[in-house]
Amino acid sequence: MAEINDAVTAVHEEVWAYRDEVAIQQLVARLYCQIFRFLINVMKWYTDKWHKRMLWSLNENIYEEYKVQIDDIRNLSELIHRKAMTRMLAGIQASTLIRKNENARFLADLRDRDRNADAMRQEGYFERLRVALQTEFRDTMEKTMGNIQQGIADRLLANVSSQIAGETALRYLEQRAQDLTPIVRPAAPSMGGEAPVRFHDGPITIAAICAPPALPHHTSKDKIQLASARLESFYDRHNISPHFESPDALFLTNPSVAARVQAFTLACASEVLHVCSPMEQCEETHSALLAARFAASARDSNVPTLSYFCQLSLAPVPEWRTKETVELVRLAYALIRQLVEILPDGKEFDEERLGDAAFQTLDGTLATWGEAMEVLRGLLEEVVEHQPLLYIVIDGISLLDDVSRHSTDRPLGELVRLLCERPAGRGGHLVKLLFTTAGESRALNAALEGSCTVKASI
């Protein structure tokens, strides 16, 4: 028993560390089968009658039989140890290869920066001289223009002030005269007299000229957060970042899929990727597992990330709506709320596009779908303009294809096109858009090129 205990203890930590390795688990099952077989033989001998135990004890080969079983247990333990060491060495080699690739990329970036720095140093002197001359000229012109404007303002201030004061007094006297007595307007001037003086001429237009132009109304991030808070009542926040008990997606073991996802992540340009796995009738699909792990990794790296996991509601819906349209609206509102949370702080936004009125019109139905798309477009433009990198992860969009009533054909296509327009990027700002589906999606097949889709097999 001590030898069996030593054999099990020697591989316990390794079995626990590589519990997801199928080959190691099979060897563990064989190990325990041998242990139970040994224990069955011992218990059978122990529970036999005393004269049978005595006869068995006289058998000279009884110890050899038990020793063979113990040797089998020890051999299985050593085999498990070798398998674990092989797996560990493979992991070390993969880590070494990744580190070498990262070092090579890092060195290449350093060389590029050194070349750019040398070029900038060579051209920097004349550039700084040009900027200094422009700055000095601009300061001189601004100072001169300021003096000229101040002189003009000083000369006109007295005249403008007196005219405004006289106009104000005249209006006050006219108003008082109208209040006290009715105004008599003769039809013709009196005999030998002059025409009555009329004080109802038009007002002086200087005030209108000097009035500042109307400025557009602005709103802040805090006000947008308060205005859009009601949208959370239309969807479940659990669908933004669900927790799955299952391990990672099995099709990530496919080298082509893993390489495509890695290339999508490390690409230095905006990109759209659709990972299409086989159809699965469950909540924890392999596509959802991939999307959940990808979104969690991006958020752990402090990268702004939008995510949503589509699920058709089991609750009944009104006759004039479908489960697909309800979930489509939830997807759009969830993206809007997440974009609001990552808006830049301290910036003012156009109230006409992102003000309280824009969010109050959204009623959770397709009747206000156009307004929701305008709000989503405005938020995406603001976020992409100020964030150097943005990830958008959407799983299960194929569930929104209404193949019977076609209730989501037009709005779903609009949403997909709107999201796919963003990866065009602005300047150096990147947008990475990842779709994962368990089965084909008509909307994605219509909007994306074939090179943007990778088929995954479990």
Q: Are residues 103 and 134 in the same domain?
A: yes
Binned at pLDDT 50, 70 and 90, residue 339 comes out as very high
Mean pLDDT lowest for which of 131-145, 167-181, 316-330?
167-181
Segment 168-187 shows an average pLDDT of 57
Nearest by Cα to 219 from 89, 350, 88 = 350
| pLDDT for position 222 | 92
Q: Are residues 164 and 238 in the same domain?
A: no
Tell me what percent of the residues of the chain surpass a pLDDT of 90: 28
194 within some domain: no
Binned at pLDDT 50, 70 and 90, residue 38 comes out as confident
| pLDDT for position 54 | 64
- pLDDT tens for residues 246-304? 656 565 657 788 888 888 888 888 899 999 988 888 878 888 988 998 898 888 888 89
Q: Are residues 324 and 437 in the same domain?
A: yes
188 within some domain: no
Alpha helices in 322-441 (DSSP H): 323-341, 351-354, 356-360, 369-386, 409-421
Q: How far is CA 85 from CA 21, 22, 24, 80, 220, in A?
A: 12, 15, 11, 9, 58
Given 194, 211, 228, the domain boundary residue is 211
155 within some domain: yes
| pLDDT for position 202 | 46
Q: Are residues 62 and 121 in the same domain?
A: yes
Q: Which of 56-65, 115-124, 438-447 has the highest mean pLDDT?
A: 438-447
391 within some domain: yes
Binned at pLDDT 50, 70 and 90, residue 90 comes out as confident
Burial of 414: CB neighbours in 10 Å, binned 0-12, 13-18, 19+: middle
Q: Are residues 156 and 237 in the same domain?
A: no
CB neighbours of 319 closer than 8 A, spacing ≥ 6?
A: none
Report DSSP letters for 95-127, one per residue.
Answer: HHHHHHHHHHHHHHHHHHHHHHHHHHHHHHHHH
Higher pLDDT, 170 or 207: 170
Q: Does 8 score more than 80 pLDDT? A: no
- pLDDT tens for residues 204-247? 444 444 444 444 578 999 999 999 999 999 999 999 998 887 65
Q: Are residues 42 and 127 in the same domain?
A: yes
Is 71 in contact with 25 (CB distance < 8 Å)? Answer: no
| pLDDT for position 45 | 64
| pLDDT for position 189 | 45
Please tell me whether residue 455 adopts helix, strand or coil conformation: strand
Higher pLDDT, 274 or 9: 274
Binned at pLDDT 50, 70 and 90, residue 24 comes out as low
Residue bearing tokens 């797996």: 87
Q: What's the mean per-residue pLDDT of the chain? A: 77
* Helices and strands in the chain, H and E counts: 14, 7
Q: Are residues 232 and 206 in the same domain?
A: no
Chain-centre distance of CA 171, in angstroms?
Answer: 61
Domain containing 387: what range?
A: 219-455
Mean pLDDT lowest for which of 33-42, 352-361, 407-416?
33-42
Q: Does 190 score more than 60 pLDDT? A: no
Q: Does 195 score more than 50 pLDDT? A: no
Nearest by Cα to 289 from 236, 238, 237, 244 = 244
192 within some domain: no
Longest CA–CA separation in the chain, Å: 162
How many domains would you assign to the chain? 2
Q: Does 105 score more than 90 pLDDT? A: no
Q: Are residues 207 and 265 in the same domain?
A: no
Please tell me whether residue 195 adopts helix, strand or coil conformation: coil
Rounded distance between C-alpha atoms, residue 418 and residue 412, angstroms: 10
Given 159, 193, 211, the domain boundary residue is 211
193 within some domain: no
Tell me the pTM.
0.54
| pLDDT for position 25 | 67
Q: Are residues 235 and 147 in the same domain?
A: no
397 within some domain: yes
Please tell me whether residue 431 adopts helix, strand or coil conformation: strand
Q: Are residues 254 and 207 in the same domain?
A: no
Q: How far is CA 372 from CA 360, 416, 424, in A?
A: 10, 14, 22
Q: Are residues 207 and 223 in the same domain?
A: no
Q: Are residues 279 and 425 in the same domain?
A: yes
Mean pLDDT lowest for which of 64-78, 81-95, 166-180, 252-266?
166-180
CATH of the domain at 443: 3.40.50
162 within some domain: yes
Segment 309-336 shows an average pLDDT of 93
